[in-house]
Amino acid sequence: MMLLAGDIGGTTVRLALVSPKDGPRKFLVEREYPSADFKGLKPAVEAFLAKADGKPSSACFSVAGPVVGGRAHLTNLPWDIDEATLAADLGLRRVDLINDLKAIAHAVPHLEPDEAEVINVGEATEHAPIAVVAPGTGLGEAFLIWDGRGYVACSSEGGHADFAPTNSLQAGLWSFLNDRFRRVAYERVCSGSGLPDVYDFVRSRDPSSESAEFSAALRAAPDRTPVIVEAAVSHAATNPLAAQTLRVFIDVLGAEAANLALKVLATGGVYLAGGMPPRLLPQLRDGAFMRAFTSKGRFSGLLQNVPVKVVTINAALLGAAIYGLEQKPGR
């Protein structure tokens, strides 16, 4: 009996068929679609199954939003999803919805050595809590705790907690974003959707530094984030605004990853996941991230010893596959 596993994000829908025999890593079929192409999850699944060889009996979807009572409303996509309704509409025995960060966290204990890159070696405390921070379209956070037999993944919406500036530049950014949005959460700064707003602030401090060519590229882009990231990564010397935008992003990511580590005492390690960290490995390793991560006064020594790794695979899809295969067919 096959499982349909899915990672449902604000930008992309990733779906895969998985068999218990082959396990959660060997997908029989895998495809991804732009989320904006569909008005809900049901038509996306139907499009996938129409071209897939095989019919699943159950499904597990990681979704970018809180799951309460088997229902979810995606944070960055106008979709409402209900487990029972989706199961009935698709003719499945069971549908499980789990928060995307819970899915990523669920996958963390199962990661192979080549599925994560080290940012800080540290020394993990056995069975200690583990923190997960994932900047993608939004900013997701989760953590794992040991229950005596294994790690249990716990959901969080910490990315929507209030942004706390750590220097005068970030204080100016807070003021700029507060005027624009009337509330500034970490996701407004430290995510793919927030990066263009950070760029707008940086540009507002020195508008003459933006070239006419780059200004035109931004105006023509349906999504400014990839344009800004590419300029910061590949043309930092000639595009100081994009470079500074990325520096702010990394500084805030380091500070907030440490905030979560302190809140759950994640001496078992911190994992950076989501779409952005794998793209930014050289920048995450140049020292700025760890300076922000360890800049916590009396607790800087504790944080210096926390292992930090970047997850380089789609852990949300893997986590959904693992979780789905663990469930019993019936309710």
DSSP 13-39: EEEEEE-TTT-TTS-SEEEEEEGGG-S
Shared-domain flag, residues 85 and 145 = no
Is there a contact between 131 and 260 (Cβ–Cβ < 8 Å)? yes
Tokens read off for 25: 């890593």
Please report the pLDDT score of residue 330 as a whole number. 52
Please report the pLDDT score of residue 329 as a whole number. 60
Please report the pLDDT score of residue 180 as a whole number. 97
pLDDT along the chain (331 residues), means of 10: 91 93 92 93 94 90 92 86 94 94 95 96 97 94 96 93 98 98 97 97 97 97 96 96 98 98 98 95 96 97 98 95 84 51
Shared-domain flag, residues 237 and 208 = yes
Please report the pLDDT score of residue 294 as a whole number. 98
Give how many domains the chain has, as a whole number: 2
64 assigned to some structural domain: yes
b/e map of 261-279 (b: 16 or more CB within 10 Å)? beebebbbbbbbbbbbbbe
Q: Which domain holds residue 94?
A: 3-99+315-326
Distance, CA of 121 to CA of 264 (rounded, Å): 19
Shared-domain flag, residues 148 and 19 = no
CATH of the domain at 139: 3.40.367.20
| 160: Cβ contacts below 8 Å, ≥ 6 apart | 139, 185, 186, 187
Shared-domain flag, residues 172 and 254 = yes
Distance, CA of 172 to CA of 175 (rounded, Å): 5
Shared-domain flag, residues 300 and 322 = no
